[in-house]
Amino acid sequence: MVRLKDIAKITAGQAAPKEFTNTGLPFIRAGHLEDLLSGLDIDSLPKVSEKVARTKRLKRIPKGTILFAKSGMSATKNRVYITGADAYFVSHLAGILPNTQFSTSYLSRFLSWYNPSKLILDSAYPSIRLEDINNLKIPLPPLDQQKQIASILDTADAYRQKTKALIDKYDALTQSLFLDMFGDSWLNPNNFPLKMLRDLVNDGKIITYGIVQAGEHIDNGIPYIRTGDIKDGKIITKGLKRTSNEIAQAYKRSKCSAGDIIMSIRATVGTIAFLPNSLHGANLTQGTARISTDKNKANPIYLFHCIKSEGIQLKINRQTKGATFREITLTRLRTIKVPIPPLVLQNQFAERIKAIEAQKALAQKELNKADELFNSLLQQAFKGELV
């Protein structure tokens, strides 16, 4: 084991300048890491001219520098990125440049496995001291083994990223299909009738939010859905909070059925998901709303993708109030107007979406396997069991 400071140069960035241009070197902020790790070209970031860099005395880091966030909420995300070009970087990031006799990829993989957030001393004020980064102990096998380990992990990760890209293509295909069949939902070029959301739900199931005070968690209680439980068009069932039968019964008006559309109406306003069969009978919080589609008026799959479309999301955003605490009221949500094509056309769209989703589900299974393999290799690598 060696200390990181003995094998690498460690530094922090600087405050972002106000002057950006289309030429010069990219300036990397903490918020850029997620997009960069998802494949964003570093050259597309805002740039700083050489003149401004000299005036502000910005530190230039070379291609191959390892970055991760060391302060702010980004420090809890454990995103580790290797720069694809020379750049400048913000003070919230730590930069690590290994000595030439050590593998950058190996060190990056170690940091991803270790999780730099372990170095945060106070979760209420996330921050990692450079001193603690310097003293981080690293297992360091001979260089040829480092390269071998990195190569195995890079290959496994490449397959994982390729599968993720396939899923992204299916998502793009879904959006393209909606536009091809119905046009822009904001412009409504086909002049489909516009209906308020409140007029598209089942009788006796108005658009509503749920439980105001759910009380303490009950292990075998009734699950309820919070805004943070909705992610990537799905409800994350792991970690769902549960309330007592008595409290759920007091809010029976917001009881949900499988196939209902659940929408976030606070914070991440507009994010939606279908309620899966496994959560039939679940409830909501004040931050989520139920849209129970009347199938005689709209196909639920069509309505889901219509609400998700850019045009309707823009309408929702315009009706959302608050800067630090974003919220759309039920009154405003119920009166959002959406284009309603003939049901036969909606049903055709839904059948095509089902076919795409079936292929996407197969790709998701492959991704799950790829994730399991990668994580297994990662664990083996830094326990000395891989090579």
Summarize pLDDT for 67-92 with one digit per residue, the tens.
999 999 999 999 999 999 999 999 99
Chain centroid, CA 269 distance in Å: 14
Tell me which residue of 242, 240, 289, 286 sits closest to 262, measured CA to CA: 289
121: pLDDT strictly greater than 80: yes
Does 324 score more than 90 pLDDT?
no
pLDDT on residue 306: 98
Sequence-distant (6+) residues with CB within 8 A of 206 are 198, 253, 334
The per-residue pLDDT for 9 is: 94
CA–CA distance, 336 with 316 (Å, rounded to integer): 7
Mean pLDDT, residues 133-140 taken together: 93
Q: What is the pLDDT of residue 194?
A: 98
Residue 329 has pLDDT above 80, yes or no: yes
Overall pTM > 0.95: no
Confidence of residue 372 (pLDDT cuts 50, 70, 90): very high
pLDDT of residue 206: 97
Q: How far does CA 3 lie from the centroid of its chain? A: 33
Q: Looking at residue 1, what is its pLDDT? A: 86
Domains of the chain, earliest start first: 2-140 (3.90.220.20), 141-183+341-387 (1.10.287.1120), 193-340 (3.90.220.20)
Mean pLDDT (the chain, rounded): 95
Instruction: Identify the residue whose tokens are 């995103």.
Output: 79
Could you tell me which residue, 386 or 66, shows the higher pLDDT? 66
pLDDT score of 101: 79
In angstroms, the CA 105 to CA 37 distance is 14
- pLDDT at residue 386 is higher than 90: no
